[in-house]
Amino acid sequence: MRIDCRTDPTRYKHWRLDVDGETATLWLDVAEDGGLLPGYELKLNSYDLGVDIELADAVQRLRFEHPSVRVCVLRSAKPRVFSAGANIRMLAGASHVHKVNFCKFTNETRNTMEDASAASGLKFLAAVDGACAGGGYELALACDEILLVDDGTSAVALPEVPLLGVLPGTGGLTRVVDKRHVRRDRADVFAGIEEGVKGKRAVDWRLVDAVAPRSGFDAAVAARVRALAAGSKRPAGAAGVALPPLAKTVADDGLAYPHLSVEIDRAAGTARLVLAGPSGPPPADAVALHAAGAETWSLAAARALDDAILELRLNEPTIGVWLLETQGDPAQVLAHETALAEAAAGDWFAAEIRAYWKRVFKRLDVTSRSLVALIGPGSCFAGLLAELALAADRSYMLIGGLEGDNRPEAHLTLSALNFGPLPMANGLSRLATRFFGDPAALEAIGAAAGAPLDARQAEALGLVTFAYDDIDWEDEVRLALEERASFSPDALTGLEANLRFPGPETMETKIFARLSAWQNWIFQRPNAVGAEGALKRYGTGQKPAFDRNRT
């Protein structure tokens, strides 16, 4: 079954989005029979990937289609339950690949909520009425504030360790101590309590921000919405930009979008992603940018690349090497980038487009595939699109041209956008990450910014891994790809995750690193998924039988 991440509010099965002035309410009302895959029921607002695909779409639409919304309230439409978290039957029956992709996507969605708060001023309030456990509490943790009903039964919990033999998979443990600053001993106790924590203790332990009696809960929610809205910078009364359905053609050997083609070579295990640069000049000003809307190249290309990353992740797990290429006029890429930067200083739409590119590149950074940039004739790795080359695990650049090919010689051009506005999860630019601990190299590269660099210049500055002439180009690239395909996919996933984020550790890098290193491993262990494991026996009345060896 092919998973498609495209959706819109008219097709939601599990969420309802209500917008009233500067407040939006996302009502969680999971359809029990609406699972993305067969074999389980989504009871008690438990969720699977399909539920989170809708949530991600809703957050994206709030950013682009409803710019005047300052606060989004997350509430449950079911009585006395907020969310029971990730569906256990789904986790028990899903393949390991699907479980990891599910956890990664939900992590990215929650990170997007936090980014919307920090970058756009869209604040989130979790109004928790009833049980809020596991991934349900992790969803609340992604919000700016959590308000809990104080009725003697409503509670927050992370019960994965005592109940399931696994860990919270969406950053719960990290956000409790890093974001909410819960004392580690209290966090240790909290993570071992099946029934969770409620009332005053939940506030005292910083697990929630406040509690309110059921009789006054709606009034307390309204008061917190007013306070959060007062601190938001989102523009009052601004008209949104519609996000129409993304045009996409799916074939057995690839994908096609208006600005992106993906060619899959199953025998070689590769996907060739060719992103086309703009075909004309940028919108003249912010007014023209809004008129172009979702069709403007900078937004349309970002949407296509984002969807393609998810398509390949979710539906093509055996395609282990992605070849990143571009085609177009570098000058036009830089012109669009400059126009966007000038508009972003005072226009919410331009700022959202730039913020979206930041998220798309971050999604690429944490994708468990080998990323290889091929910088050849007619390419446009300039400014914004130079980030593709900087995100790659390796990059190969052609010296000069190819016989019979009349496209322009390959150049790599850096701009101000490459030096900070598009940070990685570690908080550094990809250039600063690439040259971590080598300020002299970074200074030399800064001096070369704005100038088109040929292959020899780019290699000398350390911006590409190898530069080859036309005699060696085809053979060297082919041998490198064949060698990569011969390695263990598991080892490559670990290798790439270890090498991509030198420098400072942040809450975001911790979440993804721990997902890769721990959740990935624990979800394969017999104590979790074996015949007598906790996930398999959950709900049967039988206790799991654990192998008590520590490793």
Task: Find the mean pLDDT for residues 535-549.
Answer: 89
The per-residue pLDDT of the chain, averaged, comes to 95
The rounded percent of the chain whose pLDDT value lies above 70 is 99
Q: Are 75 and 127 in contact (CB under 8 A)?
A: yes
Task: Find the mean pLDDT for residues 165-191.
Answer: 94
Whether 461 and 342 share a structural domain: yes
- What's at 489, amino acid-wise? P
What pLDDT is attached to residue 5?
A: 97
What pLDDT is attached to residue 517?
A: 65
Whether 429 and 492 share a structural domain: yes
| 348-365 helix and 49-64 helix, angle to the nearest 10 degrees | 150
pLDDT bin (cut points 50, 70, 90) of residue 480 is very high
What pLDDT is attached to residue 130?
A: 97
How far apart (Å, rounded) are the C-alpha atoms in residues 89 and 427? 37
Task: Find the mean pLDDT for residues 48-74.
Answer: 98
- Domain contains 41: yes
How far apart (Å, rounded) are the C-alpha atoms in residues 447 and 443? 6
- Domain contains 506: no
- Domain contains 519: no
In this predicted structure, the answer to whether residue 513 has a pLDDT above a threshold of 80 is no
CATH of the domain at 75: 3.90.226.10
- Domain contains 513: no
Whether 128 and 220 share a structural domain: yes
Look-up of token digits 């067969």: 38
For the record, the structure tokens of 202 come out as: 């939940």
Task: Find the mean pLDDT for residues 162-189.
Answer: 93
- Domain contains 544: no
**Last residue in a domain, options 182, 201, 230:** 230
Q: What is the pLDDT of residues 387-422, one digit of tens each?
A: 999 999 999 999 999 999 999 999 999 999 999 999
How far apart (Å, rounded) are the C-alpha atoms in residues 393 and 319? 16
Q: What is the dihedral of CA 419, 424, 428, 429, to 10 degrees?
A: -20
What pLDDT is attached to residue 345?
A: 86
What pLDDT is attached to residue 449?
A: 96
Q: What is the pLDDT of residues 236-293, one digit of tens each?
A: 999 999 999 999 999 999 999 999 999 999 999 999 999 999 999 999 999 999 999 9
In this predicted structure, the answer to whether residue 307 has a pLDDT above a threshold of 90 is yes
Whether 157 and 209 share a structural domain: yes
Domain count, the chain: 2
pLDDT bin (cut points 50, 70, 90) of residue 438 is very high
Whether 151 and 271 share a structural domain: no
Q: What is the pLDDT of residues 357-378, one digit of tens each?
A: 999 999 999 999 999 999 999 9
Weakest mean pLDDT among 197-211, 297-311, 407-421, 480-494: 480-494
What pLDDT is attached to residue 525?
A: 84
> Residues 334-338: contacts with CB within 8 Å, 24+ apart?
334/382, 334/383, 334/413, 334/415, 335/278, 335/281, 335/282, 336/278, 336/282, 336/297, 336/298, 336/384, 337/298, 337/383, 337/384, 337/415, 337/417, 338/282
Q: Are 78 and 45 in contact (CB under 8 A)?
A: yes
User: How many C-beta atoms surround the C-beta of residue 288 within 10 A?
Assistant: 13
Whether 266 and 167 share a structural domain: no
Whether 293 and 195 share a structural domain: no
Q: Are 361 and 324 in contact (CB under 8 A)?
A: no
Whether 441 and 391 share a structural domain: yes
**Last residue in a domain, options 230, 263, 291:** 230
Strand partners, 72: 24, 124
In this predicted structure, the answer to whether residue 519 has a pLDDT above a threshold of 70 is no
Task: Find the mean pLDDT for residues 178-205.
Answer: 97
**Last residue in a domain, options 197, 230, 263:** 230
Whether 209 and 254 share a structural domain: no
Whether 113 and 181 share a structural domain: yes
What pLDDT is attached to residue 97?
A: 87
Whether 156 and 290 share a structural domain: no
- Cα three-residue angle 247-250-252, rounded to 5 degrees: 165
Look-up of token digits 């990059």: 395
Q: What is the pLDDT of residues 255-271, one digit of tens each?
A: 999 999 999 999 999 99
Whether 210 and 276 share a structural domain: no
- Domain contains 514: no
For the record, the structure tokens of 365 come out as: 């950074």
In this predicted structure, the answer to whether residue 1 has a pLDDT above a threshold of 90 is no
Domain of residue 432, residue span = 249-499
Please enumerate in sequence order all residues whose Cβ is within 8 A of that of 280, keeping only pairs 6 or more positions apart, or say none: 332
Largest CA distance in the chain: 78
In this predicted structure, the answer to whether residue 106 has a pLDDT above a threshold of 70 is yes
Task: Find the mean pLDDT for residues 167-193.
Answer: 94
In this predicted structure, the answer to whether residue 516 has a pLDDT above a threshold of 70 is no
pLDDT bin (cut points 50, 70, 90) of residue 506 is very high
Task: Find the mean pLDDT for residues 80-99.
Answer: 91
- Domain contains 180: yes
- Domain contains 124: yes
